[in-house]
Amino acid sequence: MLKALIIFFGLLALCYAASVGTTSDAPDVCQSEDELWGGEDIRKFYFCLDGQVITDECDPGYYFVNNVTISGCLPADLMKPSCVNLDTTVPDCTGTSKLQPQAADDVASFYLCTSDGAKELPCPDGKAFVSQDGYLGCFPWSEWRSLRNCVDD
Ligand SMILES: *[C@@H]1O[C@H](CO)[C@@H](O)[C@H](O)[C@H]1NC(C)=O
């Protein structure tokens, strides 16, 4: 009996680990049968295939938009400016750039100055980089959206 219980809890723990390991914000309900839709992560979009939600991601430098005129991945320079980083530069690692992480063109990455110079690092899964209004670091996409004011009009 005890053995069975241990196996049961072991399985529970495994299932829990598996569900935490997969990306958290992926919807599991079809929002539309014939259209793409977006989520908090501006790079991702979803569609339905045989009742299953499929998650896909725009190419690097492209972001997902779904409004009256457009549905699909747009290059950064056609996006709402509050949603993208255009023309960021690799920090020279002097002055303040040496001390704090800096924005990169990829909104989910940042530059960090190390003893080997500037390195571009990704935010942890589910987060994007913010450096404004006293916020500095990787924040969940929903928070990133409201801090950046990158919301649908
Ligand atoms: C749709 O989104 C694109 C990109 O952000 C924008 O240029 C366009 O004006 C939007 N259209 C409407 C009707 O909001």
Residue 18 has pLDDT above 50, yes or no: no
**What pLDDT does residue 153 have?**
62
Hey, what are 12's tokens?
């529970």
For residues 104-134, one letter each, b for 16 or more C-beta atoms within 10 angstroms of the residue's C-beta and e for the rest, the string is bebbbbbbbbeeeebeeeebeebbbbbeeee
- If one compares 104 and 10, the residue with the highest pLDDT of the two is 104
120 part of a folded domain = yes
Rounded to the nearest angstrom, the distance between the alpha carbon of 79 and the centre of ligand 1 is 8
11 part of a folded domain = no
Exposed/middle/buried for residue 96 (C-beta within 10 Å: 0-12, 13-18, 19+): exposed
pLDDT for 21-34, tens place per residue? 344 567 889 988 88
Q: How much is the average pLDDT of 83-95?
A: 93
Domain assignment of residue 81, given as a range: 24-148
**What pLDDT does residue 25 have?**
65
| Residue with CA nearest ligand 1 atom 8 | 69
Residue 9 has pLDDT above 50, yes or no: no
Residue 55 has pLDDT above 90, yes or no: yes
Name the pTM for this structure: 0.79
Q: How confident is the model at residue 93 (pLDDT cuts 50, 70, 90)?
A: very high
| Residue with CA nearest ligand 1 atom 1 | 67
pLDDT for 111-139, tens place per residue? 999 999 999 999 999 999 999 999 999 99
86 part of a folded domain = yes
Q: H-type helices in the chain, by residue range?
A: 2-21, 96-99, 141-148
Q: How much is the average pLDDT of 91-103?
A: 90
Question: Ligand 1: which atom is nearest the Cα of residue 68?
Answer: 13
Total number of domains in the chain: 1
Q: How confident is the model at residue 99 (pLDDT cuts 50, 70, 90)?
A: confident
Rounded to the nearest angstrom, the distance between the alpha carbon of 70 and the centre of ligand 1 is 7
139 part of a folded domain = yes
